[in-house]
Structure 1
């Protein structure tokens, strides 16, 4: 398989469940301090520029036409210049109803800056394990977006779409933001490998082969030795490089992939609970049951009851 195939396997499960989008119009001196979120956040710079800041890093200038995606919703500020006094996001937007949108005006002067923002809520039960290792912010510059016409056109159309109230607008916006989310991650995984070990793993000749096996053939009876052979590496070197790039041992990465599929099957309800282990690569129900309970703090039966109360 090619690198594109491993990208497909990684990104295929990601699906947005809801969004809150907003258009920000700012002028003069302004700044907003966001909080830690449990979902992804996106800023698209429609006009002029702003500065993104984390507590422990140098500010990042976001110029007109740039896109910033925060895969984990990491707390940050965005302002007209570094070091500006900031207003808390909760005071600017005290209520953010999922599926809704809004327009925010702020600053000391008439607006000359425009930013498209969104909170992107996805189903955490389907989040690929490697997603956890992504950097806290991914910045796609204007020149890079120009090489991704589908992503760029979708972003440009969203600037107009979020203020519409036509029938179906909520679903259209959701799917459009979902496309932006997936395309942005794909672009980052292809072109920004230097920013993240997790992205480097996708381009590593051996590790990418092991990831394809884990994501595309997780039901096979893999061992660490077998994955190392698949990667064309010795067991010791494979284990070391995999942990360094992916952030956890290969055996655990495989286990999490299988258990995520178990949660999907339990929630779906099409497979009898007693047979789920057979569909995810476990050789016994006991081993699967113990692993599931240790990882998620509940039994498979409790999880199915929680997700399918009826």
Structure 2
């Protein structure tokens, strides 16, 4: 299921920075349109989202914000913070910075990254992931590939060897995928969306939706795929995924339609059938209702 979920999700670019901090310090980040991660290379810090309790990150811990949720990170909870744009006025994709903050000699090192991916490839279930996923150092010890990739990134991202930018991009992509896999295995109890990936019946139905979205699925046939009664399937799906099966399938199909619309070699008139709509009118109305523009207007915008 995780493979089908993440298959269309490919990073297009990253922005990364190394933070060196000492003494008292605090930075408030804005809502980001991309996934964000913080990896504690040395020492510790605290992250806070809105009114939630502060989360302490110790050396070797990783915090992933799948949706780029606004948050602060600081040497201690409750400190006065500086806005991120004042510390980093420009953050161009593909660039990197070394940032020094605090009122004392740096004793803390954090690797931060903004992971950019095309929003048209974002799987519907990805939107149901929690605002922040924290993987502790002891969890990463059981995931040697993830741990070693994280440990090598501070050195790799400052290299200027041929292909260094592409290597860093794919390394961060691997970190994203491996982090979600680890979270699914270790933190499912904390997130209904992660539970859905592990649920025997719901995961089978989700795999069917993602891999065979053009099939004329109904709630009845999906419940049979899940090996559950229709009522039990519908309730469990809504509880774990956060929306009815029919809507989730519709969004999956329209997501694929947006991907095909971005490919100018695909004839506009064929797309509705390729994503599972028998009627062009039904597809046109669903697309416009979901995204506020018609498929043709979307293609024109992408072409421009």
Give the TM-score taking structure 1 as reference length: 0.95
Distance 2:208 2:197 in 1: 12
Alignment of 1:1-20 (within 5 A): 6-20=1-15
The counterpart of 2:36, out of the listed 36, 41, 45, is: 41
Cα deviation digits, residues 97-143 of structure 1 (max 9, x gap): 11100001111110010000011111110101000000000011111
What residue in structure 2 maps to residue 83 of structure 1?
78
What residue in structure 1 maps to residue 201 of structure 2?
206
Is 1:69 the counterpart of 2:64? The answer is yes
Report the aligned-residue RMSD. 1.1
Distance 2:117 2:163 in 1: 20
Cα deviation digits, residues 142-175 of structure 1 (max 9, x gap): 1111111111111111111222233322222111
Distance 1:17 1:244 in 2: 33
Show structure 1 runs of 5+ residues with no match. 1-5
Shift of 1:213: 1.0
What residue in structure 1 maps to residue 115 of structure 2?
120
Cα deviation digits, residues 30-75 of structure 1 (max 9, x gap): 1111111111110000001101112211111101001100001111
Aligned residues: 304
What residue in structure 1 maps to residue 46 of structure 2?
51
What residue in structure 1 maps to residue 255 of structure 2?
260
Cα deviation digits, residues 185-225 of structure 1 (max 9, x gap): 12112221011000001111211111011111111110111
Mean CA deviation greater in 231-240 or 216-225: 231-240
Is 1:183 the counterpart of 2:178? The answer is yes
3-state SS, counterpart of residue 65 of structure 1: coil
The counterpart of 1:243, out of the listed 238, 244, 254, is: 238
Give the TM-score taking structure 2 as reference length: 0.97
